Chain A
């Protein structure tokens, strides 16, 4: 353990703890933008600058380890002045008017911070290099105007997903983050990107957003419902974002025991099958030859009676073992339990199976 003082208060933290982590443990707020609790600190944005007694220059709290005897000051006039300057530089290159139409408005880390600082004007005017919005894939839109070059997306791809699909390219005003293939900027579909969307999930602003919900929903209109992914057997936890009875987007839910909040392309972007116009909406009864695929719509009563009647008839005439039931690896435990109860308890057979082997 090391002992240090933050704003004159003493705290003991394990070795290797950063100043930022120590401060957060004490409940001292240090603003951050590029820092993400699941990623190694980047030290890019400089918003977390703090003063350390005896140090010539302020240091980034996110990447500076807490040391024995250190005295840290997080809210001095100098720190406040610097933070304001950094923030002004950030918004000088960020389309503040863009908040009107930004998907992240209401849940944007930059917007929240500007609001918290009460920043109403920007004393800098800069030339920014304008890159067009990139929509080169079915899942993710990259809006360069909103990008603050924090580097989280690059980091999450390198550290968590480990596909190394993103990097900073160009220099100076022309710096941008782009998909890369063999060290060169490339279309995302040509890069090693697997469209997991971890980058979208960690983007603090509206630079990376889900294509399917872009311009369709405001943050405050959404109801979030926790669930489990319907694809493979890993059982990733997720949150369904619901508006007007429709799931409009999906984000990972942070269950550290399972997926740590991360998802894959199917879990994050493949949910829209539930709103397919091809979904069955009414019971159907066959009218044509078997296999012809011709049906008429029926009421539930009619369909359920027909099912019960035929199951009963076959059971009574030929015995339960002349019936076969397939339950489902995509249905719930409760549903599978009920179906085996129907099979064994009501139909009197053990002819039940599912595609576990396939």
Chain B
């Protein structure tokens, strides 16, 4: 998030797009509802009828995969009606003229045609957002899990910059991150192109710095970007990747086109999985190492607003299981490399030494409310709002981004749009399903189908159906509901019994390599 969770309380207008906030980030959802009660205006853009739709001043029900057209449509109105922030654009940005030109094609009428959102609602939404004075954008995977995911995010940045909605409280472009430490895993260089703190692997000076800190020769560090998760699976299938070490991930259920992942893992020469359960992925391993759950170890998580927070150890791991940092350090040592850490606090000291945005972070300072990076020095208070004086690159650049159709569109054979997500009572694929209460209240998967579609297919509520895509098929109970519009079928991916990712399309966004989980084509058959 460019801004902070607390900030939502100060927003005058909130645009929630591609985020089912009350189910997936319930405490932020709560804050949004509180803001509405206090008088903030809420625009929800979501193909599904989510809880926040009922709280919205305006609910835009765009067709899945048409977000970019919708956002450009909002910009079209903002440009045409002169609602943009001239001063902000002049002093803080560049490229607005090109953007103006580009969005002129996205007239409300044309966008209405693409998205299914009435033209007058597009105009209303643009006016609401632009009039602020403090407008915040919240988004999640509904924006990013498309082949145009990166472009979608750029379009949102364009919208915020055009209206001067960055660098101040109650505004911002705020991605809601889905997992407890997904932000931290990225911050720590758990990505194929960057070292901790997003320092590029292709930068010789960066490699030099890490080589010195780690006591190795700089030429030992690879100068080229590595493979992304999806590319690794592809490489494994082709025999280019021979060994994998998987920590606390379950790609067999969480990756698109699951059948492919299984095939890839089978081809590996060696697979080690470190986890707390024998997951669907661990079943393919040569060695399984038992790690520790969050309550069983010390460490830090970084939340969606860049806040680094402390976890304290409450209990011991069960049986012979060990804290994951200890296991990894032991493997490093057995490979002939020093890794003599007595505690996670010592590891954090090393992180601070090599990561400029974490340089001021240490365990003593984290005891209170945590610290938001960038925190470049031990006396720096942390950064609740990014881009206050300037952007990272100096001037904020407007990127012209154009709408493209999803990779797979419905056709005669596969006439329905299939889209996926999460629900309140489950999380990903493992831990919530091992919780007694959560399993009891939500024990089985359902596919949401619109009543008119159900009628034409002769499907009654609660009856079993088969969903078939070009990649696979699943059998599941139908929930006949107006939550989904006509022509759209929704499922969660939590359940191995009906693994939605057997159906999803592995087509990737060309930049972020994120798969298009939110749109593919299926047919529906009554069982």
Contacts and interface: CB of A to CB of B under 8 A. Distances in A.
B314 A227 contact: yes
Contacts of A314: 242-243, 269-270
B196 interface: yes
A284 B272 CA distance: 10
B337 interface: yes
B277 A308 contact: no
Interface stretch (A104-112, A179-187, A299-307): A299-307
Contacts of A246: 315
A227 B311 contact: yes
Given A280-B290, A335-B299, A345-B214, A265 B438 contact: yes
A98 interface: no
Interface stretch (B96-104, B344-352, B463-471): B344-352
B496 interface: no
A354 B190 contact: yes
A280 B221 contact: no
Nearest to A255: B369
A160 B38 CA distance: 12
B266 A307 contact: no
A265 to B, nearest CB: 6
A291 B265 contact: yes
B290 A270 contact: no
B350 A337 contact: yes
A257 interface: yes
A102 to B, nearest CB: 22
A234 B304 contact: yes
Given A276-B434, A344-B210, A338 B328 contact: yes
Contacts of B275: 280
Contacts of B191: 352-354, 356
B4 A308 contact: no
B185 A336 contact: yes
A311 B245 contact: yes
A271 B296 CA distance: 12
B26 A273 contact: no
Contact of B515 (A269, A300, A357): A357
B400 interface: no
A293 B283 contact: yes
A262 B28 CA distance: 11
Interface string A299-337: 010011111101110100010111111111111111111
A353 B232 contact: yes
A236 interface: yes
Q: Which of A196, A263, A346 has most B Cβ within 10 Å?
A: A346
Contacts of B222: 320-321, 344, 348-350
Interface in A249-303: 255-259, 262-266, 269-276, 278-286, 290-293, 295, 298, 300, 303
Contact of A326 (B181, B251, B318): B251
B266 A334 contact: no
Nearest to B179: A329
A56 interface: no
Nearest to A353: B229
Q: Which of B5, B228, B335 has most A Cβ within 10 Å?
A: B335
A73 interface: no
Interface stretch (B70-78, B233-241, B385-393): B233-241
Q: Which of B37, B178, B180, B242 has most A Cβ within 10 Å?
A: B180
Contact of B246 (A230, A273, A293, A326): A326
A35 interface: no
Contacts of A264: 26-27, 424
B130 interface: no
B242 A323 contact: yes
Contacts of B286: 285-286, 290, 306, 310
A76 interface: no
A228 B309 contact: yes
B257 interface: no
Q: Which of B192, B226, B232 has most A Cβ within 10 Å?
A: B226
B220 interface: yes
A138 interface: yes
Interface stretch (B106-114, B120-128, B163-171, B319-327): B319-327
B192 A352 contact: yes
B214 A341 contact: yes
Contact of B227 (A139, A259, A351): A351
A257 B184 contact: no
B309 A235 contact: yes
Contacts of A279: 276-277, 290, 293, 318-319, 321
B435 A269 contact: yes
B225 interface: yes
A58 B266 CA distance: 78
B244 A353 contact: no
A339 B247 contact: yes
B259 to A, nearest CB: 12
A314 B187 CA distance: 28
Interface stretch (A9-17, A41-49, A62-70, A237-245): A237-245
B436 A138 contact: yes
A231 B290 contact: no
A36 B192 CA distance: 49
Contacts of B5: 234, 257-258
Nearest to B339: A338
A212 interface: yes
Given A333-B300, A354-B190, A284 B287 contact: yes
A49 to B, nearest CB: 30
A291 B178 contact: no
Q: Which of A139, A212, A276 has most B Cβ within 10 Å?
A: A276
B448 interface: no
B334 interface: yes
Given A291-B266, A326-B246, A162 B316 contact: no
B299 A332 contact: yes
Contacts of B330: 300, 304
Contacts of A139: 437, 441
Nearest to B255: A358
A266 B436 CA distance: 11
Nearest to A235: B303
Nearest to B304: A233
A292 B262 CA distance: 12
Contact of B185 (A262, A331, A349): A331
A86 interface: no
A95 B269 CA distance: 67
A151 B244 CA distance: 56
Nearest to B300: A333
B514 interface: yes
Contacts of B293: 230, 273-274, 279
A233 B316 CA distance: 24
A83 to B, nearest CB: 34
Nearest to A243: B315
Contacts of B227: 324, 351, 353
A247 B436 CA distance: 14
Interface in B104-158: 144-145
B201 interface: yes
Contacts of B296: 274
Contact of A349 (B226, B287, B339, B370): B226
Interface in B437-451: 437-438, 440-441
Q: Which of A195, A234, A271 has most B Cβ within 10 Å?
A: A234
B303 A269 contact: no
A196 B328 CA distance: 36
27 contacts: A138-B437, A160-B34, A226-B312, A232-B179, A233-B181, A235-B370, A258-B370, A272-B435, A274-B293, A275-B318, A278-B277, A280-B276, A285-B288, A307-B287, A326-B232, A331-B185, A334-B348, A338-B347, A340-B188, A340-B196, A345-B221, A349-B222, A350-B224, A352-B189, A353-B232, A356-B190, A357-B228
Given A245-B315, A327-B249, 9 more contacts: A162-B34, A227-B312, A273-B432, A324-B241, A328-B185, A339-B245, A340-B190, A350-B193, A350-B225
